[in-house]
Amino acid sequence: MARIPEETLQQVLATTDIVDLVGRYVKLRRVGANWRGLCPFHPEKTPSFYVNPQRNNYHCFGCGASGTAIRFLMEHDGLGFMDAVKRLADAAGIRIEEEVWDANAERAAKIRHGLVKLHNDIADWFHHLLMKDAVAEPARDYLKSRGISSETARNWKMGYAPASGALLRQWADEKRYTENLLVVGGIIARGDAENGRSGESYPRFRHRLMFPICNDYGEVIAFSGRLLDNNAKAAKYLNSPETPIFNKSRVLFGLEKSKRAIIKANRVIVCEGQLDMITAFEAGFENIVASQGTAFTEFHARMLKRHAEEAILCFDSDNAGYKAAERAFVILSPTGLLVKVAPLPQGEDPDSLIRNHGTEAFKAKLDDARDFFDHMIDFASANRNLGETREKTRFAGEMASMIQLLDNAIARDAAIQKVAIRLGLPEADYRRQVSRTAKPSMIESSEMREESSMPLPAQDKLAEMLCQYALSDAFILDWLRKSGREEVIKDIPGTELLSLIWGSSMNLAESTDLNVFLTTLRKEEDSALSQMLSRPMPAGGLPEAEQALDALDLKRVHNLLQHTQTQLKQHGLTGAKIAQLQAQVVELRKEYLDRRALLQKIPPLPAP
> What three-state secondary structure class fits 139?
helix
Closest-CA residue to 296 (of 332, 322, 263, 267): 332
pLDDT score, position 545 = 86
Q: Of the candidates 452, 479, 499, which is a domain's last residue?
A: 452
Q: CA angle at residue 153 from 148 to 158, to 5 degrees?
A: 120
**Are residue 296 and residue 423 in the same domain, yes or no?**
yes
Q: What is the mean pLDDT of residues 498-504?
A: 84
What phi and psi values does residue 36 have, to the nearest 5 degrees?
-130, 145
Q: With respect to residue 252, please indicate whether it lies within any of the assigned structural domains.
A: no
Q: Of the candidates 452, 487, 504, which is a domain's last residue?
A: 452
Within 8 A by CB and 6+ apart from 500, the residues are 390, 521, 525
**CA–CA separation, 108 and 104 (whole Å):** 6
pLDDT score, position 174 = 94
pLDDT score, position 301 = 87
Would you give the DSSP letter of residue 602?
Answer: S
Lowest mean pLDDT: which of 115-124, 250-259, 289-298, 379-388?
Answer: 289-298
pLDDT range class, residue 505, cuts 50, 70, 90: confident
Q: With respect to residue 119, please indicate whether it lies within any of the assigned structural domains.
A: yes
Q: With respect to residue 267, please indicate whether it lies within any of the assigned structural domains.
A: no
**CA–CA separation, 186 and 122 (whole Å):** 12
Is beta strand 34-37 parallel, antiparallel or unpaired with respect to 201-203? unpaired
High-pLDDT (> 70) share of the chain, %: 88
Q: Could you tell me the CATH number of the domain that includes residue 85?
A: 3.90.580.10
Q: Could you tell me the CATH number of the domain that includes residue 141?
A: 3.90.980.10
pLDDT range class, residue 127, cuts 50, 70, 90: very high
Would you give the DSSP letter of residue 80?
Answer: -
Lowest mean pLDDT: which of 36-40, 137-141, 196-200, 576-580?
Answer: 196-200
**Are residue 437 and residue 474 in the same domain, yes or no?**
no
pLDDT range class, residue 486, cuts 50, 70, 90: confident
CA 219 to chain centre: 28
Q: Could you tell me the CATH number of the domain that includes residue 319?
A: 3.40.1360.10
How many beta carbons lie within 10 A of that of residue 350, not counting itself?
29
Q: With respect to residue 276, please indicate whether it lies within any of the assigned structural domains.
A: yes
Please report how many Cα atoms fall inside a 13 Å half-sphere around the Cα of residue 113, on the Cβ side: 8
Q: With respect to residue 399, please indicate whether it lies within any of the assigned structural domains.
A: yes
pLDDT score, position 501 = 86
First to last CA, the chain: 76
Closest-CA residue to 577 (of 586, 568, 588, 585): 568
Within 8 A by CB and 6+ apart from 602, the residues are 547
| pLDDT above 60: residue 167 | yes
**Are residue 526 and residue 570 in the same domain, yes or no?**
yes
pLDDT score, position 451 = 38
Q: Of the candidates 452, 477, 505, which is a domain's last residue?
A: 452
* Number of domains into which the chain is organized: 4
**CA–CA separation, 23 and 29 (whole Å):** 9
Q: What is the mean pLDDT of residues 448-470?
A: 70
**CA–CA separation, 24 and 17 (whole Å):** 11
| pLDDT above 70: residue 294 | no
Which residues share a beta bridge with 220? 214
Closest-CA residue to 491 (of 568, 413, 393, 583): 393
pLDDT score, position 588 = 84
pLDDT score, position 518 = 73
**CA–CA separation, 141 and 432 (whole Å):** 59
Name, of 84-93, 209-218, 371-380, 384-393, the range with top average pLDDT: 371-380
**Are residue 85 and residue 153 in the same domain, yes or no?**
no
Between 182 and 508, residue with greater pLDDT: 182
Q: What is the mean pLDDT of residues 429-456?
A: 61
**Do 189 and 183 form a contact (C-beta atoms < 8 A)?**
yes
pLDDT range class, residue 210, cuts 50, 70, 90: very high
**Are residue 226 and residue 350 in the same domain, yes or no?**
no
Closest-CA residue to 415 (of 456, 454, 377): 377
How many beta carbons lie within 10 A of that of residue 280, not counting itself?
27
pLDDT tens for 6-22 read 778 878 888 888 998 99
Q: With respect to residue 286, please indicate whether it lies within any of the assigned structural domains.
A: yes
| pLDDT above 70: residue 445 | no
Closest-CA residue to 76 (of 18, 32, 31): 18
Q: What is the mean pLDDT of residues 224-251?
A: 86
Within 8 A by CB and 6+ apart from 208, the residues are 160, 161, 225, 226, 227, 228, 238
**Are residue 406 and residue 476 in the same domain, yes or no?**
no
| pLDDT above 90: residue 269 | yes
**Do 294 and 338 form a contact (C-beta atoms < 8 A)?**
no
**Are residue 367 and residue 471 in the same domain, yes or no?**
no
CA 53 to chain centre: 23
Residue 548 domain boundaries: 461-600
**Are residue 126 and residue 95 in the same domain, yes or no?**
no
Would you give the DSSP letter of residue 594?
Answer: H
Does the pTM surpass 0.75? The reply is no
pLDDT score, position 494 = 81
Q: What is the mean pLDDT of residues 371-400?
A: 89
pLDDT range class, residue 1, cuts 50, 70, 90: very low
Q: With respect to residue 258, please indicate whether it lies within any of the assigned structural domains.
A: no
Closest-CA residue to 525 (of 483, 469, 467): 467
Closest-CA residue to 373 (of 336, 421, 334): 421
**Are residue 445 and residue 497 in the same domain, yes or no?**
no
Q: With respect to residue 607, please indicate whether it lies within any of the assigned structural domains.
A: no
Q: What is the mean pLDDT of residues 225-241?
A: 85
**Are residue 477 and residue 507 in the same domain, yes or no?**
yes
**Are residue 303 and residue 417 in the same domain, yes or no?**
yes
Is beta strand 338-341 parallel, antiparallel or unpaired with respect to 310-313? parallel
pLDDT, the chain, mean = 84
pLDDT score, position 447 = 43
**CA–CA separation, 238 and 605 (whole Å):** 67
Q: CA angle at residue 5 from 4 to 6, to 5 degrees?
A: 115
Between 607 and 111, residue with greater pLDDT: 111
pLDDT score, position 562 = 81
Q: CA angle at residue 373 from 286 to 420, to 5 degrees?
A: 155
**Do 141 and 130 form a contact (C-beta atoms < 8 A)?**
no
Helix (H) or strand (E) holding 151: helix 150-155
**CA–CA separation, 262 and 291 (whole Å):** 15
**CA–CA separation, 176 and 190 (whole Å):** 19
How many beta carbons lie within 10 A of that of residue 211, not counting itself?
27
Lowest mean pLDDT: which of 25-29, 268-272, 477-481, 568-572?
Answer: 568-572
| pLDDT above 70: residue 89 | yes
pLDDT score, position 529 = 79
**Are residue 435 and residue 553 in the same domain, yes or no?**
no
Q: What is the mean pLDDT of residues 220-248?
A: 87
pLDDT range class, residue 98, cuts 50, 70, 90: low
